[in-house]
Structure 1
């Protein structure tokens, strides 16, 4: 039986492992900490299929200078990391050119459509459908001018058939009571899905994988090599051998890819959040405070306030003042929010400068498949990525042009 080693037990790695199992393959998953220990544990829980516009865009470039002036704002670069991040920022700037944005939008749309199509069959196959929610989302604006500035993006979604409705303050209050009157307009997206709790979801997937004969082991990978017949994965003096390997280690993928000859400009967005008790607020759907770079989500385990981007790598100590700043804003924006009893978190989002993931074979060998760099959209794109990975490993025709996500595109 063909044996595949998946490196990474987050939502991408575990989803890919299950998709490979479904094709009749034997699969072992290796992870430095275990299932759902990284970014998959602390995300906002949304399947943001309507987010077809790449983060790398002229709109973000216009906001970035103002945001960067605030060290606790939606986008920050710690001074100690500024020189190191400069080449990535230059690539990001280049990716914001209109022609590149247009191509990235096509790619993002294709992956979003595939992920949406694959999600519910995947949930059914893994026994996790009861964790899916379809409550919608509300993007809020502080002025008519801010709403107007958002309209080109909404038109792009409308052209793709995304359903939404612009609201005034009274209409917003009917959907979500308790918003501050500073928010005068909003956009309601009814077909916005979420998961009850992202960590519990990935743990449930891991349980299903094991129940079907899969193996998950904790290991810190030190080397990944391939020859004509097999792949060898080395960690702490121990070797695992397989017919194929999938590198889905999120922000920790860069070094292993580089050792295989792929200089992929993967960077780390450090995301922060605070999860409050479930009764902290009567939250009826996800609220997106786009002008401030964070969201408030209702999970089965609590109310999560999080988001923003800190481009600070893997090694700097966390700056939890960022989480506190978002929580203070949330209290202002939702005056009835009880901010007591929260639990803070910081995690690493793996991000590429064109805000598209790397999904495809390594330069070193077609036996090694990359699946990382999903940024804020790992949960959203997990089922679609799992399908693409399973097709690549088994040699099935790809349902999306693989060049869009080629790891060699850089």
Structure 2
């Protein structure tokens, strides 16, 4: 690569575009290998999905989106604007092309291939969070058991069997609870909940707090974080140039684009895998009784996480353009689906309503790697950007510094042919 120097031949300087969990993790692991880093973001640290998500680091429950069941749900959702998976009926050729390709990849074989590839990130998720916290990222990471709650006890048993299909090297302890044990484990479960699958060995964080702590650690290690709207990233003799609207261009040996749902707007010319914004909603709500750990309501596709003095409630997958406004009907749909299943939640006092865009690929695997001389991308994690962000950062930093794509990273090649 032009512009490389140093004992290992890697770059001395890198510009990372994007100050979410993926971009900042990449910056941190590059610094860990002795690289000087500048981070640029159009609005600031954790301004997107890294703030408003459910905060789960849950490798046992992290599976690709492109499953046959999601395709079936999506077809039903076309006629139901309140469905957890919402696809607006309107003329949008970009979305239509993405959905056709996504549907073609919702086959068992493609899903299984994506699950095997993503297992690399799942297997390293907990350990890479440990590395960050042990080396100065000052934010709590809470060990937990995640309660997956069902109305139908038979569906809980089937779900437990399904978990065995997607497990990597870290096997969680899984227990099916009912009756008094269920109420003790999930004190806000309503009488409609018949069974809970308790999945141990998982974690959760306050995502905004953790990402800001990671940003502070990156700055303390010598990086600069700038606010600016990056217009172009391109290779030039001796390195790369990052052009910032109303500002001087930045020059470095290499650059990483980690801008979430906006990734392809900066560098989509050669990426063959389709990527689209899958928007999620969240809000905070007070509760009458404290909750010891997160709850997932799979029938409603709603995740609830202990958050400050109450809960953060997150849900829905909405295929709209990332710049569109919050649609209150989607918040109301989350409440309508979750309220019958939980007692002691003061839904009318909800606040901090949020919508943000997750970058969803059409084949269920993220985009991690090189796209041109000195230019790299990291994104496309869908709902799992927080959980996979640190592992992605370490994987990409290794490739940038060594110039070699590891076997583990090959499935995530942004220039892969499908």
Tell me which interval the TM-score lies in, with the shorter structure as reference length.
over 0.9
2:111 maps to 1:101: yes
Correspondent of 1:59 among 54, 59, 69:
69
* Corresponding residue of 1:141: 150
Are the aligned partners of 2:62 and 2:384 in contact in 1 as well (CA < 8 Å)?
no
Offset of residue 201 of structure 1: 0.9
Offset of residue 228 of structure 1: 4.7
* Corresponding residue of 2:411: 404
* Corresponding residue of 1:381: 388
* Corresponding residue of 1:69: 79
5+ residue gaps, structure 1, are: none
What's the CA shift string for 1:17-64, capped at 9, x where partnerless?
111111111100000001011110101010021135322112222333
* Corresponding residue of 2:279: 270
SS in 2 for 1:376: helix
Q: Cα 1:87–1:140, aligned 2, differ >3 Å: closer, same or farther?
A: same
1:69-218 matched pairs, under 5 angstroms:
69-80=79-90, 83-128=93-138, 130-157=139-166, 161-195=171-205, 197-218=206-227
1:348-359 matched pairs, under 5 angstroms:
348-359=357-368
Are the aligned partners of 2:57 and 2:202 in contact in 1 as well (CA < 8 Å)?
yes
* Corresponding residue of 2:316: 308
CA distance in 1: counterparts of 2:64 and 2:99, whole angstroms: 15
What's the CA shift string for 1:83-111, capped at 9, x where partnerless?
43122112222222222122111101111
* Corresponding residue of 1:325: 333
SS in 2 for 1:191: strand
Are the aligned partners of 1:95 and 1:353 in contact in 2 as well (CA < 8 Å)?
yes
1:13-24 matched pairs, under 5 angstroms:
13-24=23-34
Q: Cα 1:169–1:404, aligned 2, differ >3 Å: closer, same or farther?
A: farther
Are the aligned partners of 2:143 and 2:202 in contact in 1 as well (CA < 8 Å)?
yes
Most deviating of 92-101 and 141-150: 141-150
Are the aligned partners of 1:169 and 1:181 in contact in 2 as well (CA < 8 Å)?
no
Offset of residue 177 of structure 1: 1.3
CA distance in 2: counterparts of 1:131 and 1:114, whole angstroms: 18
SS in 2 for 1:192: strand
What's the CA shift string for 1:205-230, capped at 9, x where partnerless?
11111122110101111111103521
Offset of residue 169 of structure 1: 3.6
CA distance in 2: counterparts of 1:77 and 1:349, whole angstroms: 15
Give me the CA root mean square deviation. 2.0
SS in 1 for 2:121: helix
TM-score, with length taken from structure 2 = 0.91
Are the aligned partners of 2:281 and 2:330 in contact in 1 as well (CA < 8 Å)?
yes
TM-score, with length taken from structure 1 = 0.93
